[in-house]
Structure 1
Amino acid sequence: MTDTTDRTTAQALVAVERPESDADLLERARAFAAGADRRVVVVALATPDEFEELSATLETIGRTEHTSYTASDAEAGIAGDAADAAAAVFGDAVDYGVRVAVAPEAEQAETLVDIADEVGADHVFVRGARRSPTGKAVFGDRTQELLLNFDGFVTVTTVEA
């Protein structure tokens, strides 16, 4: 795993929110990337509230340990969780890097499109939510916006809301 993005290699992007439960999404990205010889950029998504909560937790731990943690440590924690999940699924089969994106939910689709454009990704993997009790898949706002605004392929996995 590396943090650099190489625009000379075709890339896919996978957005993870909860690395511990996004194994299916990562597996789909692995199957695609391994079969198409693609590099994957794993984007660990967090809202500002989630980021602040983690920062506050680290601050509390730091006081107990008589040390201090910074926002960089919180970002490293988020990236580390995503990297661990990716390593468990990708193994040596896929070259990948991890980025952290902290954005309000209403801006996450735009953030993903911007990152995909920046790294030259033409395929995005994202998790949607099943919102209907009858089983009809109704994608959330972020997924819908991504489908409408990303000029490439989008693969969506669904989970119960």
Structure 2
Amino acid sequence: MPRALVAIEDTDRDRDVLQRAKTFALGAEIDLVVVALATSDEYTEVERTLDEIGRAEHTSYDENAVLEGLFGDVDDLAHDVLGDAVDYELRTVVADTRDQATSIVDIARQTDCDHVFLTGVRRSPTKKAIFGDRAQQIILEFEGYVTVSMS
């Protein structure tokens, strides 16, 4: 069964792209693969914060706690928008921007997705480059449909 993938990072714009993917999934009667994205720097920051808290509390936090700190809000956002209306699987990616795009394309291929939804970033005041590096790389590398939400 074909699926669609939606890449999110827990921002207000991601709520919009999730809603668009939900509408598409309901109309096409397909499941979604929700990919939560974070950078290596964000991972390190959460890890460092939990380490400081752990020292103060005389305890330690493992990698699962770091991932929960990074992606807990994303999971809540996906559940809030998609609820029980659409079946979805949550995947996580911790990588730099260029590697995130490769990971998204790889996950889309592995999970039989024929459509990718993501948010774009306007890169210049003259709007010559409409999409950010990640969106542009996905558009160029993914063989299926790509919807980029610019709201």
Q: TM-score, normalised by structure 2?
A: 0.91
Residue 19 of structure 1 deviates from its aligned partner by: 4.4
Q: In the alignment, what sits opposite 2:93?
A: 101
Q: Aligned partner of 2:96: which letter?
A: P
Counterpart selection for 2:58 from 60, 66, 70: 66
Distance between the aligned counterparts of 1:125 and 1:11, measured in 2?
11
Identity of aligned pairs, percent? 52
Deviations 1:114-149 (A, max 9, x none): 111111111100111123435666111111110010
Q: In the alignment, what sits opposite 1:82?
A: 74
Distance between the aligned counterparts of 1:82 and 1:35, measured in 2?
24
Between the two proteins, the alignment pairs up a number of residues equal to 151
Q: After the TM superposition, which of the residue ranges 19-28 and 146-155 deviates more from structure 2?
A: 19-28
Counterpart selection for 2:27 from 25, 35, 39: 35
Q: In the alignment, what sits opposite 1:25?
A: 17
Q: After the TM superposition, which of the residue ranges 88-97 and 127-136 deviates more from structure 2?
A: 127-136
Gaps spanning 5+ residues in structure 1: where? 1-8
Counterpart selection for 1:127 from 109, 119, 127: 119
Q: 1:74–1:57: structure 2 CA closer, same or farther, 3 Å change rule?
A: same
Q: Aligned partner of 1:119: which letter?
A: T
**Residues 42, 70 of structure 2: 8 Å contact kept:** no
SS, match of residue 22 in structure 1: helix
Distance between the aligned counterparts of 1:118 and 1:141, measured in 2?
22
Residue 29 of structure 1 deviates from its aligned partner by: 0.7
- Once the two structures are superposed, the pairs formed by residues 40-59 of structure 1 within 5 Å of their partners are 40-59=32-51
Q: In the alignment, what sits opposite 2:130?
A: 138
Gaps spanning 5+ residues in structure 2: where? none
Q: After the TM superposition, which of the residue ranges 14-23 and 27-36 deviates more from structure 2?
A: 14-23
**Residues 8, 34 of structure 2: 8 Å contact kept:** yes
Distance between the aligned counterparts of 2:28 and 2:98, measured in 1?
32
SS, match of residue 130 in structure 1: coil
